[in-house]
Structure 1
Amino acid sequence: MAALLQSRAGPWQPAIQLDGQINIVRCCNSPLARSLVLLSTDIAVHVYETVVNDTSLSFAPVTSFLVGSRTTAAAWSPGSSYDTGEDAGDECKITIIVATDTQELRLLQSFGKKDQPENRLLGRTGIDVNDIAWCMVPGYEQYVAVAGNDGTLQLWDLETESGEPSHTDIYLETSLLSVSFHVKMPKLLYVIDAAGVSRLVDWLASMESPSGDAQSTLALADPETLAEYTTQGIRATGSGTWQPQDPDLIGALLGTRWSVWNAGGTESNPSRPVASGELSGTANALGRIPSGGGFRWCSTNPRLFAVFVPALSAALLAQTGCVTESTGSVKNAFSLQVCDLAFLHNPWGVDVNSVSPFTGRAIDMETTGSGAAGVHATLPTAYGISDADWTPQRVGAYDVLLVAVGSQIIPVPATAT
């Protein structure tokens, strides 16, 4: 289905509709497969090709993998390739690694339209996995990093002498929210935990440590999140990552607050953010932000980044009859914002729910998840943003963010101010 990208003011029509709710969106940044995107549902992983044509963006299904359990994290192999020419079916090498809610690490592979997709068990993590990263640096493509909910950072070697994947555990104190490899220095990992502390971890030195503790070269902190964790034991949710064009810049979202650090700057205290802000009007009917949310640097424009939380905006909840503390202030009630580093005072709020198949009605929050006959999932479950990622290709003059809302993918065009 082609999705015409109109002006920034929208609307944007859903471009992909799956049978189940989409929980992960990952665009492929491998040089030979930049047109691919993976979408994960409760039992399967689907791969689509994005076809760019002037001001339109269309999606074509490529392959699907039946996983049988919920995928909690996924990463593309740097060796993935996809030929979009006439012989695409014979020039395809799709490789994805996924972690599941059954504590398994699986390798998904497809080598062409004529071949059956492969789903191979690599091993058991023994931990609940929040994020996974595959090293893209040449010579280190065999290494995969896994961020555990119990504070364990696992380094997997997929090409051991024995032929069986193995892993080394590195221990941190608090639940890890996300992990990513440095784009030029493969020995460095960026990890962020639920206390609001980000670390640059030398994983090679950590693997040689007798205690197994992480060897950090720099620690960065969001003061408010760290204070809440220290004084009240509140664990944040969110994610963070390097800026792909300038890895000295690091961005993260914790709860509803986002921060940007300059690890290579000349500031007197580089551990403190150089910029920060907050999403507003995102309180849901339960009075809290659900687990999830993320920070995504734009891969086609180094000035742009997006932050999102899975809660519904107060503006949408007001239509349902639900009353929240923020329903009276709906003008800035967005659960997704696109920010420009040059104009951080003027973020662009995106109401993706306005293009979802939504009909306003009063709902009974007491029946949420009860499974009673005739009771449907309430809106916070069905229509919150579950994930988002930037496409590595521009569409005309636009940088495009793919947003998962329920079972749909909505392309959101953005341009620098």
Structure 2
Amino acid sequence: MKKTIAIAALLAAALTACSSGGKSGATGQSAQPGSTQAAASDQKPMVIDIGFGGTTINRNFSPFNPQASLGMNGYVYENLWTFNILKGGEFVPWLATKYDWSEDGKKITIHLDPRANWSDGNKLTSKDVAFTLKYGREKKAVQNGALLEWTSVETPDDQTVILGFDAPSFTLTDTIGRLRPVQEKVYKDQDPNTFTNPDPVGTGPYKLEYSPQQLTFTARPDYWKQEVPVKTLKMPIIGGTGALPRMLTGEITWSGGAFPNVMKSWVDKDPERNKAWYPTYGSLLMWMNTEKKPFDNVHVRKAISLALNRQEIADAGNPGMFHPINATGLDQETMASWIAPEYAGAVQKDARAEEAKAELAKANLKPEDISFDILENGEWGDAVQRDKIIAQQLNAIG
């Protein structure tokens, strides 16, 4: 039985860097101890490898468009708020200073920071947030992977938004906070599936200058939250031999890509300056389509999971940098306080071949009855390497 399918089991390492960059590992040069930042007039641009593939950067900067280019969130567009998972979920105010839930969880009041403004000089107001919410629902346009099913939105003043729901919705706090407001005058008559927003206006600290091979971000002198310490960011297409050689020469300052054996190839070259940091705030997962046979059978899914040696997968390419996660999907090392006592320590490191075969038997299947393809982005070399290891491990039980 052969299915071309994206599969998933809860497995692999706490978040590692993919070649897509940006959201995962970060590698870069630190300042020498005791050094100070150069004066703004003398400051060199910070060159960042954010992981652009191909030969041309797509001029698409709409937070509603699934084909949008990397690099916008945080630099041009900003969240209402976020949470620092590395500090136990600490609330981090941003465009909003705070929020208040009603006792029954059916209404949230959002308090915007009165200082917040757009890069065109206009103030951010509650009407911008309300428009973004209404636009998203009317157009069925998603920003954060989920469409908010709210029932009412009110704007009693310029800094207050009241959002209503038909059921307790405390669990939507993070999703609401990740909303990135857009301007009504820009989006009002636009189709979110086709509008590319080529010249974005945001509340973030930078204005964007586009070229097909590089995005250049210039600090806003009127940024509302603070003075922007890094005046110019450049995000070029790297291509060729990749970021590592250009990191070693100092041409690139920071990369979100994956370096094979990063300690040996990068950090050990200059331990005082070269640093690598992989924040354990997430996980690498494989997804199974549970509407397709045989993945609709829980015993098949368990068998695949049991057949995997997660430590070998975690060590692929960067030995010692990552580790398997808890069966709940949380990181055992940094999120232990969030894991229920009965699942404490539920971390499978090694393959359990006989248990995997036993699960298949419960589904009246043998290992040779199952064959499928793993789908992967071909540009993500480290992910492709892990996929090959996973395939070898599954082949080992037939």
Query: Could you state the TM-score of these two structures normalised by the residue count of structure 1?
Result: 0.26
> Which structure carries more relative contact order (alpha carbon 8 Å, separation 6+)?
2
Q: Max radius of gyration: which structure?
A: 2
- Structure (1 or 2) with the greater helix fraction: 2
- Structure (1 or 2) with the greater strand fraction: 1
Query: Could you state the TM-score of these two structures normalised by the residue count of structure 2?
Result: 0.27
